[in-house]
Amino acid sequence: MNSDRDRLMQRICMACRTALGTAIVLAIAGCSRTEQPEQAREDAPAFVERINREMAERGHELGAAAFTYATYINPDTEFLNSKANERYLEYFSNAVEQAKAFEGQSLDSTSARAIKLLKLGVSAPAPKDPQKRAQLSALASKMEGMYGAAKYCPQGPESCKDQIELTQTMAESRDYEALKEAWSGWHSTARPMREEYANFVELANEGARELGFSDLGAMWRSNYDMQPDEFTQEASRLWGQVKPLYGALHCYVRDRLQDTYGEDKVPSDKPIPAHLLGNMWAQQWAEIYPLVEPYPGVSDLDITAALKKQKYDAVRITRAAESFYVSLGFPKLPQSFWERSMLTKPADREVQCHASAWHMDANEDVRIKQCIEATQEELMTVYHELGHVYYYLAYKDQPYLFQSGAHDGFHEAIGDTVNLSMTPAYLHEIGLIGPVKRNDQSTINQQMKIALDKIAFLPFGKLIDEWRWKVFSGEVKPENYNAAWWELREQYQGVSAPVPRSEEDFDPGAKYHIPGNTPYTRYFLSFILQFQFHKALCEAAGHQGPLHECSVYGNEEAGRRFREMLAMGQSQPWQQTLEKLTGTREMDASAITEYFAPLLSWLEEQNKGKQCGW
């Protein structure tokens, strides 16, 4: 599973909402002021029909600008992408202004929902002032370009390393100082965007206030079919359900890292140094599995070695992912997917390697953008990205404004739900590992590897937007950006910076979703929902036995239930869509506890007598 996939989405242009492709959600350029007289003669259904039609017609052009920029980073494509965003922001402002004509009217439910989603349709609404709108668009494109082209050059141009190289060091090295340099080097690349981000926040907040929200964070939280404060409480409730499991994992991992690096570098009862967890952002810890493996040598779980030995390349990995979905009754991917996706890193230009899925034309032009390597993480990421792609294809017949996940966490959860079915039995069936004997030790090993990915991520998934909500509301000011960031990382994750930090640093900007302005709570929610979905699909498939042993690979009944849910898109409140698959209208993390029950009991035994917490 890709740590940064955070891969994402949102409605007006799914090409970038799920694509993580631009700092401002892309959409269409049209609907100029000259169209307002037409709107004056429209009723609400006619207005909604026109907006849907115009967005569908023009969305492809905007998606093309974004995809080209992401796969050919240069000043020209940055300019074109910025102008495309600028035109959309003008369109968006006009469309929302026109929609105000229906405020206070009694509307049919479909029109009312569409108009509400229109208002929430961008992740950074621009102010009405044309100069400020242009400035916001330019800042968004600039920050995205800065992130995509960033390199750490400790000794001049010949020594430069990009994110892929530094991330590889973080995953593979066990040298404390080498890890510290890679971590520090990448985080140093974010310093120049600090001022740009502060200006971006000011402008985006102004746009959100013009739409009637107190700030941009409140606008984001309004997109969950509940009041912003209610959603804040909901996120806290879900975190409370999983916090004990994370605490037990943290305690065990810290103790094992002491064995490798020494207690002087990994003290008991202190946060874990962030550079020792195998990931640039310490958000997922699967790469350090060899250091924390409960029962060394019990069952072969080295998927990366198997991929390399069997000479898997990017296309073969993507074909394997496609085959899983096809086994559930989903269609094969369109030929255009194979012709137009970027599956490997080109040697001749700068690109955004951050994995993302794209819905280019609101119909069947679907793609992914990823620099695929033959590793387990990349394998899981491709299965994840195709979850977005098959969601696009499932709801392509919905009106444009409803072409999104039931909420954004749904979109992220689809591929991850499939990841949960990639059990040892499934991996053996497709020839990546040998037979895995089911016994207590192999079960704990398997669950540990998954927990280092799924459970380790949960606090990180929550804190990213909590930091931004505080920034957007003004509680955290620019002069305290970095201090507030590390306060939250220590509070939730129990990790600390490996080197001293100051307000000259801008460590949040070293994470794509900050300069990319992609809301992140969706990932936290998706890590809850994927287990809830998995349990429902396993029940539909008639699975008998522990939840962690279930794979729905090849089960068409589970696939039918899955597709029926996906086809609803965002046409109704997410609670109704959730109920269609799971039978309940409430997100619930209890399936996580059920799934990891063997591991939690084992961790509690291992942690006896240890000083847990930080």
Residues that are catalytic: 354-355, 384-385, 388, 412, 513, 523
Q: Please tell me the distance from the alpha carbon of residue 571 to that of residue 19, in angstroms, as a whole number.
A: 21
**Amino acid (1-letter code) at residue 183:** W
CB-based contacts of 549, cutoff 8 Å, min separation 6: 423, 425, 438, 543
For 370-424, the three-class secondary structure string (H helix, E strand, C coil) is CCCCCCHHHHHHHHHHHHHHHHHHHCCCCCHHHCCCCCHHHHHHHHHHHHHCCCH
User: Which run of H or E residues covers position 442?
Assistant: helix 440-473
Q: Please tell me the distance from the alpha carbon of residue 400 to that of residue 14, in angstroms, as a whole number.
A: 10
**Cβ burial 23-51 (10 Å sphere, 16+ → b, else e):** bbbbbbbbbeeeeeeebeebebeebbebb
Torsion of CA 556, 557, 563, 568, to 10 degrees: 170
For 519-574, the three-class secondary structure string (H helix, E strand, C coil) is CCHHHHHHHHHHHHHHHHHHHHCCCCCCHHHCCCCCCHHHHHHHHHHHCCCCCCCH
The radius of gyration of the chain from alpha carbons, rounded to an integer in Å, stands at: 23
Q: Are strands 161-162 and 151-152 parallel, antiparallel or unpaired?
A: antiparallel
For 521, phi then psi, to 5°, come to -60, -25
Joined together, the tokens standing for residue 184 give 């520090």
**Residue 606: exposed, middle, or buried by beta-carbon count in 10 A (0-12, 13-18, 19+)?**
middle
- As a whole number of angstroms, the longest Cα–Cα distance in the chain is 74
Q: Please tell me the distance from the alpha carbon of residue 575 to that of residue 495, in angstroms, as a whole number.
A: 35
CA nearest to 372, candidates 359, 364, 383: 383
Strand segments, DSSP code E, in 218-284 are 272-273
CA–CA distances in Å: residue 292 to residues 251, 258, 288, 296: 12, 11, 7, 9
Could you please report the per-residue DSSP string of 335-357? HHHHHH-B-S--SSSB---S-EE
**Amino acid (1-letter code) at residue 170:** M
Q: Please tell me the distance from the alpha carbon of residue 568 to that of residue 404, in angstroms, as a whole number.
A: 9
Asked if 612 and 251 touch (Cβ cutoff 8 Å), the reply is yes
